[in-house]
Every structure is written in C-alpha cells, then in structure tokens.
C-alpha cells in the first residue's frame, strides 16, 4: 500500500514524497484513515514504528479547514519531554510545508514572552509539555475550549514522570466534544483507566516495533565478570581510537562512576541522566 491510498491530500502527499517516504508503516496504515474520519484512536506502539507521522499527517489535512483564534489553539499535542515536543514540531514543519498552518511550541527553556506572542496571534497546532502548558494557562495566556483534536503521546512515559494528574486536569479544561488520539508503548492499569476516561469508542491500533537490526550495525557480546566490565569496555574503545560511543548503564549512579573511570584513563567522556538539570544536559 502507498500513501496515496490513505485519503491524504495532494499537498500532503507531495511533502511526504519529498521527505523520501513511499510506503506507510503498519501504524500509519491503520491510524490515518480513522483520524481523518474524526474517530478517537488508541495506538499502542513504541518509538520507531512511525507513530508520530500517524497523527501528524492526518491532523494537517483536518486542520487545513478553519481558522485559529487568539489564545485558542485548534489542536493540542502533549509530550512528556521538551525533546519529544521539538521532534513533533519538526515533523509538522517537514510535512506541513504546503499547508498554511501556524504552530507554537510551549516547553521549558524558552521565554514566556516569546511563547505569549505566538499564542496571542492564534495557532492551529499547539505542542506542549504538561507543566509549561498549565503555567501558561494559569497566567491567562491560553484557553483550551477551542481544541478540536487532543493528542496524548507517550502516555506511559507521562505516568513514569508523574504527569498524569496534569494531563487529567488539562483534559477538564477542554470542551466535551473533541477528538482524542492516545498513544502509549504499554498499557498498565493506570493508563487503561486514563483511556477509558478520555476515549469514546476508539479505533484500537496495536503494532510492535520491528525486531530488526540496521544493516550498518554489528552486534556482539562479551561475557565478563562484574569487576571486569570497565576494563573490557576500555579495550573495545581502544580498538578504534577514532570511534565515538554511547554507553548505557542501568543506574544513574553507575553513569557517574563510569564517566569518572573513563576520564581517569584518558578518554573524553560526558554523562547524561535524569537527575541532571536541563542546562547541564
């Protein structure tokens, strides 16, 4: 199946083609048609399945009709982190190049004044993290009663980060009649309860991330004792002095310890984990 069989506009198909995509992923095949028809959608899918385009593409065509009003966005996309929100914004810019739609990104690290100016002009698409959105709401800079499409993305990550109460509150600030698109990689009881609250007779789409390694990646493993891991890692890194690497640890404490060990042995290393503040990251 190609994208031109999903009911998307010619303008959108042109943008998709210019982005280098010819065949929709399974979640795009299943989610795009019901979104275009105004149906609620429950998508159970991990990152890497093409999930973002499955709601961005049809939203662009749906929002092509209508006009935005000051401080009243026509659609709202909630993301758990500023990085994910920025990625979604990039998708709207890439695929919406032939649509005259306005967009605002409401996340931490960006001045309130600049965000207020965007909201005052009116936006078709508002992409936000829950905390910063509620800050703007409390200041009277945004109203959500005009939202026609509400997207909750990465819901299980929202739960892990403690954002579910904020998400529930944001939901109460909207008009009762709107379309909701809900995406989560897993469906624990707390998330299932949330879907029951937000969704009405949804189209359920469940896809697994393809268990496939990129052809440019070589996989292998070394079986070593707990005390030998750092030495084994140093040997691997020394095997290709020009190479760069990302090393994952299962605890934040281990990240700091490993960084110190690598620096001690002459490697240029940095750390990244959830206990670091945003400027340090």
Q: Are residues 166 and 230 in the same domain?
A: no
pLDDT for position 30? 96
Q: Are residues 109 and 220 in the same domain?
A: no
Q: Are residues 147 and 10 in the same domain?
A: yes
pLDDT for position 215? 67
Q: Are residues 41 and 140 in the same domain?
A: yes
pLDDT for position 274? 78
- Number of domains composing the chain: 2
Q: Are residues 97 and 123 in the same domain?
A: yes
The single residue listed with the structure tokens 């390694």 is 213
Q: Are residues 60 and 123 in the same domain?
A: yes
- In terms of pTM, does the model score above 0.85? no
Cβ contact 195:43 at 8 Å: no
> Which of 184, 206, 228 is the last residue before a domain boundary?
206
> Which of 151, 178, 206 is the last residue before a domain boundary?
206
pLDDT for position 211? 57
Q: Are residues 176 and 245 in the same domain?
A: no
pLDDT for position 144? 95
pLDDT tens digits for range 54-87: 999 999 999 998 888 888 999 999 999 999 999 9
Q: Are residues 163 and 244 in the same domain?
A: no
Q: Are residues 195 and 278 in the same domain?
A: no
Residues of the chain with pLDDT under 70: 209-215
pLDDT tens digits for range 8-45: 999 999 999 999 998 999 999 999 999 999 999 999 98
Q: Are residues 201 and 223 in the same domain?
A: no
Strands across the sheet containing 125-128: 103-106, 125-128, 75-78, 149-152, 179-184, 41-44, 203-206
Q: Are residues 18 and 101 in the same domain?
A: yes
Q: Are residues 77 and 30 in the same domain?
A: yes
79: how many CB neighbours lie within 10 A of its CB? 26
Q: What is the CATH number of the domain that holds 96?
A: 3.40.50.300
Tell me which residue range forms the domain holding 280: 215-281
> Which of 186, 206, 226 is the last residue before a domain boundary?
206
């Amino acid at each position: 199946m190609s994208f031109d069989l999903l009911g998307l506009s010619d303008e959108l198909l042109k943008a998709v083609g210019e982005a280098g995509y010819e065949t929709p992923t399974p979640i795009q095949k299943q989610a795009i048609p019901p979104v275009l028809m105004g149906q609620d959608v429950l998508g159970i899918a991990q990152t890497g399945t093409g999930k973002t385009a499955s709601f961005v593409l049809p939203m662009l065509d749906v929002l092509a009709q209508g006009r935005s009003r000051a401080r009243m966005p026509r659609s709202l996309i909630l993301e758990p982190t500023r990085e994910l929100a920025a990625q979604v914004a990039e998708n709207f810019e890439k695929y919406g190049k032939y649509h005259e739609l306005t967009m605002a990104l409401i996340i931490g690290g960006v001045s309130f004044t600049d965000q207020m100016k965007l909201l005052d002009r009116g936006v078709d698409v508002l992409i936000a993290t829950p905390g910063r959105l509620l800050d703007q709401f409390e200041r009277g800079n945004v109203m959500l009663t005009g939202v026609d499409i509400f997207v909750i993305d990465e819901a299980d990550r929202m739960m892990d980060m403690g954002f579910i109460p904020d998400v529930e509150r944001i939901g109460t600030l909207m008009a009762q009649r709107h379309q909701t698109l809900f995406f989560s990689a897993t469906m624990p009881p707390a998330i299932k309860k949330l879907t029951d609250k937000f969704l009405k007779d949804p189209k359920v789409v469940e896809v697994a991330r393809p268990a496939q390694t990129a052809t440019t990646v070589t996989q292998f493993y070394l079986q070593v004792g707990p005390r030998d891991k750092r030495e084994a890692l140093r040997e691997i890194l020394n095997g290709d002095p020009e190479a760069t690497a990302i090393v994952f640890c299962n605890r934040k404490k281990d990240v700091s310890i490993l960084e110190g060990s690598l620096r001690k042995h002459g490697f240029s290393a940095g750390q990244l984990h959830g206990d670091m503040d945003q400027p340090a990251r």
